[in-house]
Amino acid sequence: MSHPLILEPQKKADACVIWLHGLGADRYDFMPVAEALQEVLLSTRFVMPQAPTRPVTINGGYEMPSWYDIKAMTPARAIDEDQLQASAEQVIELIKAEQAKGIDLARIVLAGFSQGGAVVLHTAYIKWQEALGGVLALSTYAPTFNDKVELTACQQRTPALCLHGVYDPVVLPAMGRAAFEHLKNWGVSTQWAEYPMEHEVVQEEISDIAAWLGARLR
């Protein structure tokens, strides 16, 4: 496993955002966004892990950075759940490493774009049993959420911000909305916002992320 990219803040770190990139991207993908956010979040460390490179079935078996294999697109995504679990374990190791550095769980936020978002939603609300500072779910979906899932009181206390492009052709807005509705029904403090964009990140969205993170980590 590659070492994560770590951006240390201007001041002594007392908070951390662990940010996962999307399918086919890499740990440097969100570095410009993290650098911009650190201008507001002066004591927040950003940790950006790298997904392993492996064959992706829906892309003809072509090897690319991927948190898990996607085997089929319909009706919902058919995925390799063992690989998703392994990626979630990788995130949990990063959470524990931040705890070991003295960062309070309430000041650790998980963020993920697209496939990375699916991993952080699974980590925060299925695997990890304690409350975190929050989850940023960007242009993503939750393949492991269903009506049988029951959250613990601690998991319910992790707030979420779900952001999506109205014109997203890759992860349809309805998929993101379904994840949001699950969280809301489970009693999670969650917000939904959408933007006139496709499968991407826009400046207005980054401003909203900065405000939401600032309210929790400043």
Q: Which two tokens stand for residue 183?
A: 């969280």
pTM of the full predicted structure?
A: 0.97
In this prediction, residue 153 carries a pLDDT of 94
Q: Give the count of domains, the chain.
A: 1
Say which CATH number the domain at 126 has. Answer: 3.40.50.1820
The residues assigned a catalytic role are 114, 168, 199
Boundaries of domain holding 166: 5-217
- Summarize the confidence of residues 184-211 as an average pLDDT: 97
Name the helix (H) or strand (E) containing 63: strand 62-65
In this prediction, residue 1 carries a pLDDT of 57
pLDDT in tens, 44-87: 999 999 999 999 999 999 999 999 999 988 766 789 999 999 99
> Residue 63 forms beta bridges with which residues?
55
CB atoms under 10 Å from CB of 19, counted, come to 28
- Summarize the confidence of residues 162-182 as an average pLDDT: 96
pLDDT in tens, 18-42: 999 999 999 999 999 999 999 999 9
In this prediction, residue 142 carries a pLDDT of 96
In the chain, % of residues over pLDDT 90: 94
How far apart are the two ends of the chain, measured CA to CA in Å? 32
Burial of residue 121 (number of CB atoms within 10 Å: 0-12, 13-18, 19+): buried
